[in-house]
Structure 1
Amino acid sequence: MFLIDVTRVKPLPNRNLDLTFEDGFHGIVEMDRVVKNYTGVFAPLLQDEYFKKVMVNTELGTVVWPNGADLCPDVLYSEATGIPVTTSENL
């Protein structure tokens, strides 16, 4: 686990996110690699105008959309850096 919060987000075309993390790392995350099926709470993210409503929730330390959709910051950090998420179970 990284336990590193997202501090800045900028939506990019094709459902990509330009992210900055609290350790200063900056990278791009392709949402289609993270969200395999845009169903349920993630369905509105297929609409470009809705996707652009992404913001950082500082209490959660991650990105959120107005309908409550959010993503684990560890998953985002792993995708942005290419470093696999580890837990005590895989150590």
Structure 2
Amino acid sequence: MYWDVKVVRPEADYLLYVELENGQKGLFDMKPYLDHGIFRELRDRAYFDQVGILFGAVTWPNGQDIAPETLLAELKQPA
């Protein structure tokens, strides 16, 4: 779909650089999620850096994911 993630890259300070199929791109801040449930595992920087894409969503190997709709709602333009 047009909002599927096509590029994701881990950045400093638990940010993700994201590009969507619709041409939008920007930074998504994961810090607000790191103290909640399954996302706590992402505090391990080596694990956080294993971010990837599965079926258009941002994912990690142990099942954490961020839906494209959430990315669209919270995506910030890079400075």
TM band (smaller chain): 0.7 to 0.9
Matches within 5 A, 1:1-91: 4-33=3-32, 35=33, 37-57=34-54, 59=55, 61-80=56-75
Kept after mapping to 1: 8 A contact 2:28/2:76: no
TM-score when scaled to structure 1? 0.74
Structure 1 residue 39, shift from structure 2 partner: 3.6
Structure 1 residue 41, shift from structure 2 partner: 1.7
Give the paired residue count: 76
Structure 1 residue 38, shift from structure 2 partner: 2.5
Task: Pick the structure with more strand per residue.
Answer: 2
Kept after mapping to 2: 8 A contact 1:38/1:45: no
TM-score when scaled to structure 2? 0.85
Identity of aligned residues (%): 33
In structure 1, stretches of 5+ residues that fail to align are 83-91
In structure 2, stretches of 5+ residues that fail to align are none
Instruction: Classify the secondary structure of the residue corresponding to 2:42.
Output: helix
Structure 1 residue 81, shift from structure 2 partner: 5.2
Q: What amino acid is the match of 1:65? A: W
Q: What amino acid is the match of 1:29? A: F
Structure 2: distance between partners of 1:81 and 1:51: 19
Deviations 1:9-67 (A, max 9, x none): 0000111000000011110111124x1x524321110011110000011x2x1100000
Give the alignment's Cα RMSD to 1 decimal: 1.8
